[in-house]
């Protein structure tokens, strides 16, 4: 069975602090894809990143960085020098490599609040 766990329900930090959102996944597939989405108060899910299971290189995009470690089944997301606009709910998600089911499994989300 596949599962995505985001153990941090809510995180609150002061602006300019760095913050890491944890994501742990379970899957028996050797080929799979991992995603992070941002859901601001407006409700729309915004796609942030997609990684496949064969690419363990960390990725940096501006203030955002992702640490993918297959050994610990984790795909953590770090925001450096956080800003108030980063306040949102963040979802980690997993999709299996075969295309039969077309089902993406979401974690329950982490609500991030950045205080001025």
Q: Give the interface with other proteins as residue ranges (CB under 8 A).
A: 4, 9, 33, 35, 37, 42-47, 50, 52, 91, 95-104, 106-109
CB-wise, 39 or 80, nearer to other proteins? 39
Could you tell me the smallest distance in angstroms from the CB atom of residue 87 to other proteins? Answer: 16
CB-wise, 17 or 29, nearer to other proteins? 29
- Dist. CA 54–CA 46, nearest whole Å: 24
Could you tell me the smallest distance in angstroms from the CB atom of residue 82 to other proteins? Answer: 22
CB-wise, 46 or 81, nearer to other proteins? 46
- Dist. CA 99–CA 95, nearest whole Å: 9
Query: Which three-class secondary structure string do you get for 55-100?
Result: CCCCEEECCEEEEEEHHHCEEEEEECCCCHHHCEEEEEEEEECCCC
């Amino acid at each position: 069975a596949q599962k995505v766990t985001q153990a941090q329900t809510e995180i609150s930090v002061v602006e300019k602090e760095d913050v890491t959102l944890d994501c742990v996944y379970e899957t028996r597939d050797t080929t799979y894809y991992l995603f992070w989405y941002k859901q601001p108060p407006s409700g729309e899910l915004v796609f942030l990143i997609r990684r496949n299971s064969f690419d363990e290189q960390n990725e940096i995009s501006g203030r955002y960085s992702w640490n993918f470690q297959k050994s610990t089944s984790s795909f953590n997301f770090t925001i450096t020098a956080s800003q108030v606009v980063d306040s949102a709910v963040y979802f980690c998600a997993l999709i299996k490599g075969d295309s039969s089911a077309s089902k993406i499994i979401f974690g329950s989300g982490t609500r991030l609040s950045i205080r001025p």
